[in-house]
Structure 1
């Protein structure tokens, strides 16, 4: 259950807030739809619910705010916009990475792929998925951790009729298993077909909170769409006959030769045109929206598109007529165009004002209470093994004899009145959830780093540039042996290996902000210390491997070209090796922390370059100034203070670390890492306080 109290977004300058004092409840076992035109504030409401946007108010999921939930991904499955993820990552790899983050077994990825029908595309890259496949993958990501609540922002936007019906069936199946579903849409007809409860938003305010049946009866207004070259003459005849029969019929002339007739039926309009010899090109039942501020009227419960007559164009959009302010014809072209080809049989029926009371079809037992006049029940396509992998857009294999009769009135949509086989299959529930362990973020980070080829290509480029640079320095001569093996010219602030390690470290957090795979957890990138520790550990291991491979490749290249003389190992290789590893690992950590603080890969790499270019000269000038005591003997004083008799010769390693810190570059790197770590912790604590 979702409870929202006084959700209000922060306003900027003199502009009003996008969402102002929105309160509602979304109950378990029901589908709740936020309905509103583009810009009404639907997405802002969801972001305020999830804590992804700053504002005021309180949102509780089963009685607890989301920031107090230990594992948010197991409580709420989220889909906001496109699926967040690196476009070069495969579908299966993306889901397995999220499995590691959520702490579930990797076989869960294959289970949800089978349910959403993406088994055949599991090796497809995220950047190559179509709109429909992206929606299916988004639903798979939302269902991955078996959450109780689904929060989806316009999940059917841009989908065909068949894909939309499948998606709505999945949401209905989740709700009927006791889950909570909150979704948004801009189409009133879609809201009436899918929802149990409809919340209408207008300009950031909640203007209506209705049951689906009441919404369909009071907010959806049926009409007859007529297209004729003699539209003016037909409108006059319809008005004249309505006055003579004392019937309430409203005729609105739209642009061109189109009429919208309210309060009549296709049969009456067709008979009038036939009697007066008026040519008709289109005659069809349609449903429009009266608008959020319209007064309720006694109209039909549901009347959706029927077959058009002859060569009409039922998909044309009817603009608002200034003469009749309370009528807004909002018929999407795809809805009217699919009425005769893809429309579900349960929704392709036309009712008149004199229709008898609703009677449930034989396969849907009638409820014990009075019949409701509301939207017809949606019958999602069953998704078995034969339909899950079938491409979207293929013909429906169900025979026409299985369709419900079009003349039958609708039955109320109640969970108990639906056959179990009508709903798609959901992934099996997670009976045993793995306990949280420190290895969860580590497994996630390993899958994130190895799931794309960026790290491998960067490492290969670093080794190649280092070998070429070492050969050039060896041929030129006058280069110290340590700098020669590290391929570090005096003119460059950092060697290629350090720059590569800093770039890989910056990508560790930079990719999270560009392609936030963990957006469903908490914020764009969760600022948890477990995630930071995993990234620092993986970055350190990568940097150490890159440092060893660089020295090895450079030594081998120098040996092959110049012989043994230039490839020899220096005598003080231990202290030089410690300094080398400290430099490369420090650059990698600086990239990770700077990218996490400034939310950018470029900022992370810039912080790495700023250490030798900016920080080292500042530290040297501060040390050499008269007001600061000289640090020339820092390493010696550290040795005298700290180097007691360590077991197993540990004082040698402490001595090497003291020598590294005593160098200008090492001291500047340690100072930079300390400052970045403090900044990261400060932003983490500030986010938790909010």
Structure 2
């Protein structure tokens, strides 16, 4: 159950808040629709509920706010917009990465892929998926950790009728097993067809909170949509026949050659047109919207509902094929009237809207059975007391007598996860994230190639010290290629989280938790260490092949040179991770890495070489004299090498930069937790 209380977004630049004091409930076992036109505040309300946006108010998910839930992804499944993931990642790899983040078994990815029908596309890239497949994958991501609550923002937007029916069938199956479903939509007819309760927003305020039967009765009106070049003549004939038979029929001119007939049926309108020889281009059942923007929406549909002009040549079909079977069964068979064949799932084609309106009671006891459920769809008819509409029309009688048995699709089986958090969970997630795309491997390969070519050119030109030659670091460059590559990989490690967020359910676009930061720093360190070793090894081999053994000899002071080299590469990698996590950008992370030798090193040199500051040249020797006892396994040598690295301008500037970035990151983390 979801309880949203007093949701209010922060206003900006004197504008009214997108959401203003909105309170509602979404009960377990029901599908609740958040209805409103574009800009009504639906998405902002969801982001406030999920604590992705600043504002006031509180939302309880089964009695607890989201920030007090240990594992939010196991309580709330979220789908906001398109599937958040790297376009180069495979479908299966994306789900397996989320399995590691949520702490669920890896086999869960294959289970949900089978349920949503994406087994054959599991090796496809996310960037190549169609809209329908993207929605299926988004639902799979939301249901991956077997959450009790599903929160989806316009899940059926841009889908065909068939895909929409499948999607809403899955949501009703989840609700039938005791779950809670909250979705947003801008279509009142869609809300009436799919939801058990409709919460209507207008300009950020709550205007109605109704059961779907009350919503259909007060907001929707069934009608017959007619398109004919003789609209005026047909309207007069329909009004005349209604007066002669003393029936309450309302005929409304929608503009152009379109009519909306309230209180009648497709069969009755078609018979009238046939008897008087009137050509009909369209004849279909619709549900009209009586909301605040109904007039503008109706005028827009009158021009675009069929996607073609009235004077265009369209394939014709008998009206008996366009009229729903439930109407044809109650009307006498008449000679056919020709109407255009439906060309799209969208628009005003004949639909079984009223029989699809149903109300499903919650599962007794709130249980979660694992077998498919069958539910009987009761009719939800519009109120017969609407102005200009008959209290007893043939269409209403046919809708009232209709009932359909619908078998709900099968859901993934329930899973059991350990309640205690595992310290290896962020590390597994980071390993799958880094290895799921080829960016890191391509970057490392480019670094090795550039470094080897640079070493060969420097050896040919000469005048380059042997240590710099082995790491391909000319004096003209602020950093060697390996350090720049390690910094780029570190920046990508956190920057891609903000470009392609994968942890939206965990309170924020990317959860600022120290466990995730530690995992990223650890993986970045291992990557940088491997890159540093491979770079030196490749450079030595290339120099040996091109110039012989002389340039491939290892220097005598290799210990502190190795410590300096590894510290430089790992430090650049850490700087990229921290800066990208702090500024939420890969570019900012790489800029922070480059700024160390360009900006900070000159400042450190001036500070060290100033007249009022003593030199630190003898710092390693004095440190060794201070530590009188000998360290085991020659540990004092490593300490002295580390101190010698820090005493250098580049090492000191890098250490200062890392300390500042880490302090800023921890400060932002503490501030977000306090709020």
TM-score of the superposition, structure 1-length normalised? 0.84
SS in structure 1 at match of 2:668: helix
CA distance in 2, matches of 1:14, 1:59: 26
With over 3 angstroms needed to count, the CA separation of the structure-2 counterparts of 1:447 and 1:673, relative to structure 1, is same
CA distance in 1, matches of 2:449, 2:269: 79
- Say yes or no: does 1:284 pair with 2:269: no
Give the Å deviation of 1:193.
1.4
Q: Does structure 2 conserve the Cα–Cα contact (< 8 Å) formed by 1:366 and 1:411?
A: no
- Say yes or no: does 1:559 pair with 2:550: no
With over 3 angstroms needed to count, the CA separation of the structure-2 counterparts of 1:561 and 1:264, relative to structure 1, is same
CA distance in 2, matches of 1:333, 1:125: 27
| Cross-structure match for 2:264 | 264
Alignment of 1:109-258 (within 5 A): 109-243=109-243, 247-258=247-258
CA distance in 1, matches of 2:192, 2:162: 17
After TM superposition, the structure 1 stretch with the greater mean CA deviation from structure 2, 228-237 or 660-669, is 228-237
CA distance in 1, matches of 2:506, 2:657: 30
CA distance in 1, matches of 2:380, 2:443: 64
CA distance in 2, matches of 1:249, 1:39: 36
Which of 443, 451, 454 is residue 469 of structure 1 equivalent to?
454
SS in structure 2 at match of 1:595: helix
CA distance in 2, matches of 1:6, 1:443: 38
CA distance in 2, matches of 1:232, 1:615: 81
Give the Å deviation of 1:335.
4.7
CA distance in 1, matches of 2:218, 2:340: 28
Post-superposition CA distance 1:583-635 (Å, at most 9, x none): 00000000000000111111111110100110010111122234444434433
Give the Å deviation of 1:528.
0.6
- Say yes or no: does 1:337 pair with 2:349: yes
Give the Å deviation of 1:192.
1.1
With over 3 angstroms needed to count, the CA separation of the structure-2 counterparts of 1:306 and 1:286, relative to structure 1, is farther
| Cross-structure match for 1:592 | 577
- Say yes or no: does 1:4 pair with 2:4: yes
Which of 384, 407, 426 is residue 411 of structure 2 equivalent to?
426
Give the Å deviation of 1:639.
3.3
SS in structure 1 at match of 2:579: helix
CA distance in 1, matches of 2:492, 2:447: 15
Post-superposition CA distance 1:26-72 (Å, at most 9, x none): 01111101111122111111111101111111111111110111101
CA distance in 2, matches of 1:507, 1:556: 29
- Say yes or no: does 1:505 pair with 2:490: yes
Give the Å deviation of 1:261.
1.6
Give the Å deviation of 1:472.
1.1
CA distance in 1, matches of 2:433, 2:84: 13
Give the Å deviation of 1:463.
0.8
Q: Does structure 2 conserve the Cα–Cα contact (< 8 Å) formed by 1:502 and 1:589?
A: yes
CA RMSD of aligned residues (A): 2.7
Alignment of 1:38-53 (within 5 A): 38-53=38-53
After TM superposition, the structure 1 stretch with the greater mean CA deviation from structure 2, 205-214 or 472-481, is 472-481
Alignment of 1:414-493 (within 5 A): 422-433=407-418, 435-493=420-478
With over 3 angstroms needed to count, the CA separation of the structure-2 counterparts of 1:527 and 1:199, relative to structure 1, is same
Post-superposition CA distance 1:227-253 (Å, at most 9, x none): 232211222333344455554432211
| Cross-structure match for 2:100 | 100
CA distance in 2, matches of 1:286, 1:264: 12
Give the Å deviation of 1:333.
6.7
| Cross-structure match for 2:564 | 579
Post-superposition CA distance 1:444-479 (Å, at most 9, x none): 111111111111111111111111111111122222
Give the Å deviation of 1:284.
2.6
With over 3 angstroms needed to count, the CA separation of the structure-2 counterparts of 1:524 and 1:364, relative to structure 1, is closer
Post-superposition CA distance 1:359-408 (Å, at most 9, x none): xxxx98989xxx87448xxxxxxxxxxxxxxxxxxxxxxxxxxxxxx956
SS in structure 1 at match of 2:512: coil
CA distance in 2, matches of 1:43, 1:64: 21
| Cross-structure match for 1:14 | 14
Post-superposition CA distance 1:509-548 (Å, at most 9, x none): 0111111111222211111101100000000001111111
After TM superposition, the structure 1 stretch with the greater mean CA deviation from structure 2, 25-34 or 262-271, is 262-271
With over 3 angstroms needed to count, the CA separation of the structure-2 counterparts of 1:16 and 1:312, relative to structure 1, is farther
CA distance in 2, matches of 1:205, 1:550: 60
Q: Where does the alignment leave 5 or more consecutive residues of structure 1 unmatched?
A: 296-304, 317-331, 350-362, 376-405
With over 3 angstroms needed to count, the CA separation of the structure-2 counterparts of 1:662 and 1:235, relative to structure 1, is same
After TM superposition, the structure 1 stretch with the greater mean CA deviation from structure 2, 630-639 or 486-495, is 630-639
| Cross-structure match for 2:400 | 409
CA distance in 2, matches of 1:579, 1:45: 52
